[in-house]
Structure 1
Amino acid sequence: MHHSRLCTVVIDCKVDDLKDAATFWSRALNKRIATVDQDGDGRYAELVTEADEPIILLQRVEHESRVHLDIETDNLDAEVERLEQLGATRIAFVRDRWWVMQAPSGHRFCVVRPQREKFGPHLNRWE
Structure 2
Amino acid sequence: MTEPTSADPAAARPASDGIGTLDTVVLDVPDLTVEANFWKALLDGTVSKADDDWITVVTPDRWGVAFQLAPDHVPPQWPGQEHPQQAHLDLYVPDLAAGSARAVELGATVLREGEQWITLADPAGHPFDVCLKEDADGVTVMGATFDCPDASALAQFWSGVVGEPVTYDADGVAMLGGPKPLLFQSVEGYNAPRWPDPAYPQQLHLDIEVPDLDAGEAAVLALGATRLPGQDEGFRVFADPAGHPFCLVR
**Shared fold (TM-score, shorter chain, > 0.5):** yes
After TM superposition, give the deviation of residue 29 of structure 1 in Å.
1.9
Secondary structure of the equivalent of 1:64? Answer: coil
Query: Which residue number corresponds to residue 83 of structure 1?
Result: 220
Query: Which residue number corresponds to residue 59 of structure 1?
Result: 68
- Residue by residue over 1:15-62, the C-alpha shift from the partner in whole angstroms, topping out at 9 and shown as x without a partner, is 1x3111111111222213345xx23xx201121345x72322111024
1:72 aligned residue (203, 209, 218): 209
Aligned AA (1:4)? G
2:34 aligned residue (8, 17, 20): 20
Q: Are the aligned partners of 2:19 and 2:220 in contact in 1 as well (CA < 8 Å)? A: no
Between structure 1 and structure 2, the one with the greater Rg is: 2
Q: Are the aligned partners of 1:10 and 1:59 in contact in 2 as well (CA < 8 Å)? A: yes
2:58 aligned residue (39, 48, 59): 48
Secondary structure of the equivalent of 1:79? Answer: helix
Give the whole-Å Cα distance in 2 for the aligned partners of 1:110 and 1:48: 18
Matched length: 106
Query: Which residue number corresponds to residue 92 of structure 1?
Result: 229
Q: Are the aligned partners of 1:23 and 1:33 in contact in 2 as well (CA < 8 Å)? A: no
After TM superposition, give the deviation of residue 3 of structure 1 in Å.
5.4
Query: Which residue number corresponds to residue 102 of structure 1?
Result: 239
- Residue by residue over 1:87-112, the C-alpha shift from the partner in whole angstroms, topping out at 9 and shown as x without a partner, is 10110232332111001101111001
Give the whole-Å Cα distance in 1 for the aligned partners of 2:63 and 2:236: 19
Secondary structure of the equivalent of 2:45? Answer: coil
Aligned AA (1:107)? H
Give the whole-Å Cα distance in 1 for the aligned partners of 2:73 and 2:228: 15
Give the whole-Å Cα distance in 1 for the aligned partners of 2:35 and 2:234: 26
Give the whole-Å Cα distance in 2 for the aligned partners of 1:43 and 1:77: 26
Secondary structure of the equivalent of 2:39? Answer: helix
Give the whole-Å Cα distance in 1 for the aligned partners of 2:69 and 2:210: 24
**Root-mean-square deviation (Å):** 2.4
Within a 5 Å distance, the mapping from 1:27-42 to structure 2 comes to 27-34=41-48, 38-39=50-51, 42=52
Normalising by structure 2, we get a TM-score of 0.38
Identical-pair percentage:
36
Aligned AA (1:48)? V
Q: Are the aligned partners of 1:6 and 1:54 in contact in 2 as well (CA < 8 Å)? A: no
> 5+ unaligned residues in a row in structure 2: which ranges?
1-17, 76-202
After TM superposition, give the deviation of residue 63 of structure 1 in Å.
4.4
Aligned AA (1:9)? V
